[in-house]
Structure 1
Amino acid sequence: MTAVPGRITDPTTLYKHWVSLDRDVERQLLRWGDVEGWLMQQYNWHQLSEAEQAALPEGQALRDIDERLGRLYAERDGLFDKLPRRGAQTLEAIAARLAVVERLICREDEPEAHAMIVGSRRDLCAIIARTGGSGGLSP
């Protein structure tokens, strides 16, 4: 996780950092599931008391992941409030904002909306690549 100083105000950078944090959350949750599954198989983890779980050195991995997730959630959620909702000045900013929205819309709950957002972001990125840059946008 790379820290973005509080003085960064470039919307594209803020959106990209939010996506990076959200991806890290996703990776940590997957890792948590793997570790918990292993602990279930090896120690019947959920049948252990909190004291027994705390005494197992192998359980430290879950505690470490929980601690990291707490920090990631706090940073990601705090950053979300600072993300501009409108007023983009570049195509890159719009594409980066769509990348945030793509992660906010659950693919399983809203497959059509998610597909349209993903397609729009990809189309926009293709236009950016084809035209050689962001270019300014007129209101």
Structure 2
Amino acid sequence: MKRLTAYINKLFEELPRGDQTEKVKEEIIRDLEEKVADLVEEGKSEEDAINKVIVEFGDIDEIKQEMDLPDFPNNHKPELARLNLGYSLWGSGLIIALVLFINYYYTPHIIWFIYPAFAVAWWPLSMFYHLHRKKLEGKG
């Protein structure tokens, strides 16, 4: 039943730690293990029973409402916003380098690479402000 425990732990990782959360998590794991045992007794294989129980369990939104916990969407993580900023910096740098190479290789007498470079520069700029907003939300 390690798979059930791992699945529930993954669902609960965004919720704040506490006694109430741990009790609810243990109760859910116990209930799901009982359902798996019942399905195995009915003749299903353990793998099929686990899959069926996971599918029938659904998501954790109802449990959050019962516990009076705020909804924490995945996009409120500053670490993810920081990673997006890093990818945008590297990606825009590579795109600008490619456009610069094409400009100087095919038309060295006309400098046109600056126009797409300005357009591509908005990508990391927007990711920077997204990260800044996430950091401010975390403090508030």
Q: TM-score, normalised by structure 1?
A: 0.33
More helix by percentage = 2
- Select the structure with the greater relative contact order (CA < 8 A; seq sep ≥ 6): 1
Q: TM-score, normalised by structure 2?
A: 0.33
